[in-house]
């Protein structure tokens, strides 16, 4: 066991630096391995923007396919970032294995936890807003509805280390994730919860473009650059915490 990281806190700036440098160093592998799934994701995202013209069943179908494609995209990206290049397949293909099934399963579990926490805390916040209505100015209550996101994203960030672990074929559980991220919850919240949320604002800018082909092209670029960086933040957070434990 490598003991040099024991007792250390997750280095925020170093993790961000690695999340920018390593993807650039492996950009050829990333492009070759992810261009197909990035294009599919961009196309599916564009289709979802047309949901006003689609039936509910079609929207649900597209959303499910998008979730499956993103699973393959994320697993492949984690493996490129965390494994030696000699361990990464050089073939470009779309393959679904038990690895992707477990990854999707943990993704669903972590988001169910997020939803449960937001529901519980949201109910309390709603009751608080109702109680304070008329007693304080409404402008001071505007941020209260966002408060449930904080504990939800905190838990999601700590449990999300299961995803890169699963991507490189490690088998763990929720208690392992909670224990491994001990004393680094708020740092993970910043790296895995808040920074990716800020990065994702690119989609708002892209949605203002009214040219479908350009919109899809920009979305592909967005997945290959910003999407990879978002995943890298989780990958290298996990790598540090695993080495430290």
Q: What is the pLDDT of residue 6?
A: 46
Give tens-digit pLDDT for 48-107.
Answer: 877 666 778 888 899 999 999 999 999 999 999 999 876 666 555 678 899 999 999 999
Domain for residue 30, yes or no? yes
Which DSSP symbol is given to 201? Answer: T
Give tens-digit pLDDT for 172-202.
Answer: 999 999 999 999 999 999 999 888 877 776 6
Give the chain's domain count.
Answer: 1
Q: What is the pLDDT of residue 18?
A: 96
Name, in order, each residue with C-beta under 8 angstroms of 35's C-beta and a sequence gap of 6 or more: 92, 220, 224
Reply yes or no on whether the pLDDT at 4 is more than 70.
no
Domain for residue 7, yes or no? no
Domain for residue 5, yes or no? no
- Specify the higher pLDDT residue, 122 or 135: 122
Domain for residue 231, yes or no? yes
Domain for residue 31, yes or no? yes
Q: Which of 71, 126, 63 is closest to 98 using CA atoms?
A: 71
Reply yes or no on whether the pLDDT at 153 is more than 80.
yes
Q: Which of 207, 83, 106 is closest to 163 using CA atoms?
A: 106
90 is in which domain, residue-wise? 12-244
Q: What is the mean pLDDT of residues 211-232?
A: 90
Q: 90: which 2 tokens? A: 């050089």
Against a cut of 0.75, is the pTM above it? Answer: yes
Q: What is the pLDDT of residue 167?
A: 95
Domain for residue 38, yes or no? yes
């Amino acid at each position: 066991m490598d003991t040099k990281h024991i007792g250390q806190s997750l280095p925020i700036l170093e993790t961000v630096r690695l999340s920018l440098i390593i993807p650039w160093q492996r950009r050829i592998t990333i492009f070759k391995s992810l261009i197909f799934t990035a294009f599919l994701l961009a196309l599916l995202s564009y289709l979802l923007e047309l949901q006003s013209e689609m039936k509910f069943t079609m929207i649900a179908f597209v959303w499910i396919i998008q979730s499956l494609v993103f699973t393959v995209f994320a697993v492949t990206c984690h493996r490129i970032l965390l494994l030696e290049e000699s361990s990464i397949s050089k073939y470009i293909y779309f393959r679904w294995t038990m690895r992707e099934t477990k990854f999707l399963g943990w993704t669903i579990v972590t988001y169910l936890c997020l939803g449960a926490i937001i529901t519980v805390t949201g109910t309390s916040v709603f009751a608080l807003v109702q109680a304070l209505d008329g007693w304080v100015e409404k402008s001071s209550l505007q941020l209260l509805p966002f408060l449930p996101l904080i504990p939800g994203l905190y838990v999601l960030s700590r449990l999300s280390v299961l995803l890169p672990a699963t991507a490189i074929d490690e088998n763990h559980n929720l208690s392992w994730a909670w224990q491994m991220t001990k004393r680094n919850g708020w740092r993970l919240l910043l790296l895995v919860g808040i920074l990716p949320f800020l990065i994702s604002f690119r989609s708002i800018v892209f949605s203002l473009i009214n040219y479908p082909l350009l919109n899809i092209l920009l979305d592909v670029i967005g997945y290959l650059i910003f999407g990879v960086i978002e995943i890298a933040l989780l990958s290298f957070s996990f790598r540090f915490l695993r080495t430290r434990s």
